[in-house]
């Protein structure tokens, strides 16, 4: 399959990420300001914390920090999702995780398209939170049928993009020239269009059913609605955003600030109220729509199922006690409750590992490799660690969090719009539309951990370690 004339999917993903970032900078100027602020803060963190820098370097993660982004799109039909999966495959991205947001009053279900193997992640971990509208959750049957008919008329992919996807699937790759053309054709799908495909009156009815429905149904394509850089200190960026004219949402989603970062912390800001030309007889049919926003994220260690259950419990107890209002009322109470509750979550790497709460990457140390030459080591993980012959480092969480995602959706749709849908999660329907199974993120992390341990033990001249001695 690997043909020398083909460029790698990693290269195509990097080209695409760069092109998308450039496009978004011109479309949403505040995004450019945010990128500069995040780059400044990241440079400061690395300058003042040499250990952080050394660790990122050792893990091969340093180079990815400043190219790291995630984006989000919202699709309208099963066939759009199906083709989107094929499009992302050209860039080495696969569907990981199923997120049901209907429980939070957002009528979509979603997945993350991202690279899955470690080498690809370290080159460029670009991910796209991709949602599919669930029209079956619209109560009004007439409006539902109308939305379906509107969506059925649009084609969000250029003909050439589809040709190039087919060429990739048939030949197993793309040449450099075809890859460049693919990137510019694929970009068209994510571009903003100021002209709606519906009248102002239809837009209003869709909007009244749910703002998100209007956003998905009224336009020519699934405009990228944000691109999120990764920061090494989200509290510093949040604090400094107003200095650069950006007003962030009241609270940071996810876990509190800790010594050992876990999962994902995120905060967003409203970016734009855009002028829209609606379809109408006369030219003066203009209005506005807010779709696009900015966001930053900080990533920590991936949690095991046990760690995740503890995280979900602690977070639910905080959210049960303090509800942050639309205007940010109670934000301080929320932050202090969050810090208080999360005291129950161990905050040292040793404890996180010993209690099987997080995933780690094992490696043989230099001392270990020396000792291996002399021979006679025992395959006892805890003992090897204690003797400094084996070491472990956190595996980065590469996915999203449904409660946080709902918070991001809500803050950009207007926090007042809380609606509850019957909580019928429908993963099967999602996978049918996708045309593939959604991969289980926990299995991916467990696989990375197990492979790193096997390789580390092999480096120490050991193999066949019993599974129970890992934790
Ligand atoms: C996606 C919101 C979720 C995140 O980072 O959790 C998200 C959307 O608004 O379409 O991007
Ligand atoms: Ni996001």
Distance 69 CA to ligand 2 centre (A): 9
pLDDT at 469: 45
Do 34 and 144 meet the contact criterion of CB atoms below 8 Å apart? no
Distance 56 CA to ligand 1 centre (A): 26
Interval 428-457: pLDDT, tens: 999 999 999 999 999 999 999 999 999 999
Burial 432-458 (b: 16+ CB within 10 A, else e): ebbeeebbebbebbbebbeebbeebbe
Distance 130 CA to ligand 1 centre (A): 8
pLDDT at 411: 75
Is the entire prediction scored with pTM above 0.75? yes
Distance 69 CA to ligand 1 centre (A): 12
Interval 67-91: pLDDT, tens: 889 999 999 999 999 999 999 999 9
pLDDT of residue 124 exceeding 80, the answer is: yes
Q: Return the half-sphere exposure (C-beta side, CA atoms, 13 A cut-off) of residue 459.
A: 19
Tell me which residue has tokens 């004219």.
245
Which residues have their alpha-adjacent CB atom under 5 A from ion ligand 2?
228, 295
What does the block give as tokens for 218? Answer: 């009224």
The secondary element (H helix, E strand) that includes residue 459 is: helix 441-459
What does the block give as tokens for 313? Answer: 């419990």
Beta-carbon contacts of 300 under 8 Å, excluding residues fewer than 6 positions away, are 255, 258, 260, 261, 262, 263, 264, 265, 394, 396, 397
Q: Which residue segments constitute the domains of the chain, with CATH numbers given? A: 6-300+398-425 (3.10.180.80), 303-355 (no CATH), 360-394+439-460 (no CATH)
Interval 211-243: pLDDT, tens: 899 999 999 999 999 999 999 999 999 999 999
Nearest CA to ligand 1 atom 7: 405
Nearest CA to ligand 1 atom 6: 405
Q: What is the mean pLDDT of residues 101-128?
A: 93
For residues 419, 421, 426, 429, the Cα torsion angle rounded to the nearest 10 degrees is -80
pLDDT of residue 419 exceeding 80, the answer is: no
pLDDT of residue 468 exceeding 50, the answer is: no
Q: What is the mean pLDDT of residues 22-43?
A: 94
Contact 111 CB / ligand 1 (< 6 Å): no
| Strands 274-279 and 195-199, bridge-based pairing | parallel
Nearest ligand (C-alpha, residue 109): 1
Interval 33-61: pLDDT, tens: 999 999 999 999 999 999 999 999 988 88
**pLDDT band of 365, cuts 50, 70, 90:** very high
pLDDT at 422: 61
pLDDT of residue 259 exceeding 60, the answer is: yes
Q: Return the half-sphere exposure (C-beta side, CA atoms, 13 A cut-off) of residue 422.
A: 6
State the Cα–Cα distance between residues 422 and 414, nearest whole angstrom. 21
pLDDT at 41: 96
Q: For a ligand 1 pocket test, name from 69, 96, 127, 226 the mutation site with the most ligand atoms within 8 angstroms of its C-beta.
A: 226
State the Cα–Cα distance between residues 203 and 217, nearest whole angstrom. 9
Q: Picking from 4-8, 134-138, 270-274, which range would have the lowest pLDDT averaged per residue?
A: 270-274
State the Cα–Cα distance between residues 104 and 199, nearest whole angstrom. 29
């Amino acid at each position: 399959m690997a043909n020398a004339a083909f460029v790698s999917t990693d290269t195509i993903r990097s080209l695409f990420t760069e092109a998308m970032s450039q496009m978004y900078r011109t479309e949403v100027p505040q995004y450019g300001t945010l990128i500069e602020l995040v780059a400044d803060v990241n440079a400061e963190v690395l300058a003042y914390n040499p250990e952080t820098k050394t660790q990122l370097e050792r893990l091969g993660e340093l180079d990815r920090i400043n190219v790291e982004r995630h984006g989000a799109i919202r699709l309208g039909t099963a066939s759009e999702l199906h083709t989107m999966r094929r499009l992302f495959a050209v860039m080495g991205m696969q569907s990981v995780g199923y997120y049901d947001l209907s429980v939070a009053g957002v009528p979509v279900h979603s997945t993350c398209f991202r690279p899955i193997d470690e080498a690809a992640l370290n080159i460029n971990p670009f991910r796209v939170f991709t949602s599919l509208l669930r029209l079956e959750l619209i109560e009004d049957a007439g409006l539902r049928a109308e939305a379906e008919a509107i969506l059925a008329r649009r084609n969000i992919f250029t003909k050439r993009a589809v040709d190039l996807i087919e060429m990739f699937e048939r030949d197993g790759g793309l040449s450099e020239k075809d890859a460049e053309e693919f990137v510019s054709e694929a970009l068209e799908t994510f571009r903003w269009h100021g002209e709606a495909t519906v009248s102002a009156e239809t837009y209003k009815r869709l909007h009244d059913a749910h703002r998100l429905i209007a956003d998905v149904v009224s336009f020519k394509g699934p405009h990228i609605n944000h691109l999120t850089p990764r920061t090494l200190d989200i509290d510093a960026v949040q604090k400094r955003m107003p200095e650069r004219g950006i007003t962030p949402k009241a609270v940071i989603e996810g876990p509190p600030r800790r010594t050992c970062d876990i999962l994902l912390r995120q905060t967003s800001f409203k970016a734009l109220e855009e002028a829209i030309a609606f379809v109408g007889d006369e030219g003066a049919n203009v209005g506005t729509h807010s779709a696009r926003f900015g966001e930053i994220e900080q990533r920590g260690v991936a949690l095991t199922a046990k760690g995740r259950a503890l995280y979900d419990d602690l977070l639910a107890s905080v959210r049960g006690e303090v509800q942050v209002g639309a205007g940010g009322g109670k934000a301080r109470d929320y932050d202090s409750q969050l810090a208080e509750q999360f005291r129950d979550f161990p905050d040292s790497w040793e404890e996180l590992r010993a209690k099987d709460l997080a995933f780690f990457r094992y490696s043989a140390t230099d001392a270990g490799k020396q000792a291996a030459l002399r021979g006679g080591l025992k395959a006892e993980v805890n003992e090897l660690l204690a003797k400094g012959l084996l070491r472990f480092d956190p595996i980065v969480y590469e996915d999203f969090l449904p409660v946080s995602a709902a918070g991001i959706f809500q803050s950009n749709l207007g926090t007042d719009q809380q609606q509850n849908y019957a909580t019928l999660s429908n993963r099967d329907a999602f996978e049918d539309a996708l045309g593939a199974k959604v991969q289980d993120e926990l299995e991916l992390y467990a696989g990375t951990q197990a492979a790193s341990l096997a390789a580390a033990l092999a480096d120490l001249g050991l193999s066949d370690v019993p599974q129970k001695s890992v934790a």
